[in-house]
Amino acid sequence: MTAADGEQARWLRRALDYEPRDAALFAAALTHRSAAGPNNERLEFLGDAVLNLVIADLLYRSFPRATEGDLSRLRARVVSREPLAEVAAELRLGEVLQLGSGELKSGGFRRQSILADALEALCGALFLDGGLAAAAVVITRFLGPRIAALPDPASLKDAKTRLQEYLQARSLTRPHYQVERVEGEAHEQTFRVSCEVAALGRRVHGGGSSRRRAEQEAAARMLRAIGADAAADRQP
């Protein structure tokens, strides 16, 4: 066992409370492709699937009334690049990550993509080393607090989704969005969009750097105009 392997094994015990069986497996998980030797790309592929399964199971159990869409939005709040990189930083994973000289000089041990990928690779190594049950225990240990702190699923829905659900619940027709004009140069455009709910006699406008953003802004303004968000907050 090399000095790096020993340091990684100690980190696994300290940070993850896990005793590795196959040190080489975790050495690969903690080695970026810029460094020599086996790297973590294949383990990252496997770990992504393991992580998504474990988190999906935890969310399914934690939010029994959440819809499929709600669960997908919640999962994205836990397993997307930014939160995974934050967890990796909290675990000080970068300190035991093996990087090539170029990545070391450029601060790769702090880069979100590298940290998130390494954490996924660790999940793959945990699965191969101890099985799904052992991997689930460790994953729950470092991501459980994030799941416990998740907001109400309804609050994660975007404005267009909330507006459509509000109208559908009242048997009203869907909102109609229309691009009124596009301003600015091709590389820096601003879209002006209208949102109309004919059944309510309401029409508002929104703007954004893309059609999608402009529609979201218009939908948010429509929700405020008709008091939909406030009405939803009052529901039991």
CATH code for position 222: 3.30.160.20
pLDDT at 5 (0 to 100)? 65
Residues 122 and 180 in one domain: no
What is the sign, positive or negative, of the torsion defined by CA atoms of 43, 45, 48, 54? negative
Q: How many residues does the chain have?
A: 236
pLDDT-wise least confident of 53-62, 92-101, 154-163, 184-193: 154-163
pLDDT tens track for 93-145:
999 999 988 877 777 778 899 999 999 999 999 999 999 999 999 999 999 99
What is the Cα–Cα distance from 232 to 83, expressed in whole angstroms?
A: 28
Strands 202-208 and 190-197: what pairing? antiparallel
- Residue % of the chain over a pLDDT of 70: 94
- pLDDT value at 222 more than 50: yes
How many other C-beta atoms are found inside a 10 Å radius of the C-beta of residue 36? 8
End-of-domain residue from the set 131, 151, 171: 151
- pLDDT value at 18 more than 70: yes
Helix (H) or strand (E) holding 112: helix 112-148
**pTM check: above 0.85:** no
pLDDT at 3 (0 to 100)? 54
Tally of structural domains, the chain:
2
pLDDT at 171 (0 to 100)? 93
Residues 72 and 142 in one domain: yes
Query: Do 68 and 57 touch, CB atoms closer than 8 A?
Result: no
CATH number, residue 51:
1.10.1520.10
- pLDDT value at 182 more than 90: yes
At 190, which amino acid appears? Answer: T
**Beta bridge partners of residue 196, listed in sequence order:** 176, 203
- Residues with active-site annotation: 48, 120
pLDDT at 103 (0 to 100)? 78
Beta strands in 158-223 (DSSP E): 176-183, 190-197, 202-208
Domain that holds residue 212: 157-234
Tell me the two tokens of residue 114.
């590298």
Q: How far is CA 37 from CA 22, 23, 80, in A?
A: 16, 14, 27
At 121, which amino acid appears? Answer: A
End-of-domain residue from the set 151, 170, 186: 151
